[in-house]
């Protein structure tokens, strides 16, 4: 069990640029989740995949955000035309199917200049 | 949606003291997890405990599902226990898989 891996750990970019984050889940986990955490708050759900199918999306996931999990393994989260309000920690989690615990990666911290 | 309330919001302890953190939730759940977020931002799984009692070293947790609350006990606290403790739940019978987090308890353990 190598844990959930996220890259990069930190991303600094200028407003208006596009950014992409990657998440590699625990290998046998077929469910993958993205959350966002702003300073002083708990994580908030963004979206969820079972295998390659995106099954649930939060209202937080505006049309500038897109997530993919093309082969049911790793996932990418892209933010287009970044805004100041996108500055946050983006967390990925994975789990087995069923009522099972979610395991989180160390996150990608995004800072918008 | 489901509501999750954690108390107290802030807690300062002397090293060696014991503490109890509480999590109340508004609906039945099929997943409840306790996490510790350390000062580096890492979210560490403590317990998966939708019901019952579990212990892991100095930490233990109890969830009373019928009364919709969970407690996290920290005994003989150490400075490394500092950070934010989150309770997160997934509601039952909704088909949703997302965890809803409480606002956390910020713990500071002083030497």
- Radius of gyration of chain A from Cα atoms? 13
User: What string of pLDDT tens digits covers the 113 residues of chain A?
Assistant: 579 999 999 999 999 999 999 999 999 999 999 999 999 899 999 999 999 999 999 988 889 999 999 988 999 999 999 999 999 999 999 999 888 899 999 999 999 99
Task: Compute the nearest-CA separation of B39 from chain A (Å).
Answer: 12
Residue of A43, A48, A53 to mutate for B, most B C-beta atoms under 10 A: A43
Structure tokens at B105: 């308890």
Could you tell me which chain A residue has the CA closest to the CA of B87? A42
């Amino acid at each position: 069990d190598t844990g959930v891996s996220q890259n990069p750990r930190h991303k600094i970019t200028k407003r208006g640029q596009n950014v992409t984050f990657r998440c590699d889940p625990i290998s046998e986990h077929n469910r993958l989740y993205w959350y966002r955490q702003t300073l002083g708050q708990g994580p908030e759900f963004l979206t969820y995949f079972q295998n390659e199918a995106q099954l649930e999306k939060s209202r937080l996931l505006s049309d500038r955000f897109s997530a993919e999990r093309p082969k049911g393994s790793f996932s990418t989260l892209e933010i287009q035309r970044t805004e100041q309000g996108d500055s946050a920690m983006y967390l990925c989690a994975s789990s087995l199917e069923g009522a099972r615990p979610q395991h989180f990666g160390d996150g990608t911290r995004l800072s918008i200049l | 949606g489901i509501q999750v309330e954690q108390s107290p919001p802030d807690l300062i302890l002397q090293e060696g003291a014991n503490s109890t953190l509480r999590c109340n939730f508004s609906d039945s759940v099929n997943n409840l997890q306790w996490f510790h977020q350390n000062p580096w931002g890492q979210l560490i799984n403590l317990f998966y405990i939708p019901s019952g009692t579990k212990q892991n070293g100095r930490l233990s947790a109890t969830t009373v599902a019928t009364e919709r609350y969970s407690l996290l006990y920290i005994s003989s606290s150490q400075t490394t226990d500092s950070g934010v403790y989150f309770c997160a739940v997934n509601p039952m019978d909704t088909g949703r898989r997302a965890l809803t987090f409480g606002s956390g308890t910020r713990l500071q353990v002083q030497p």
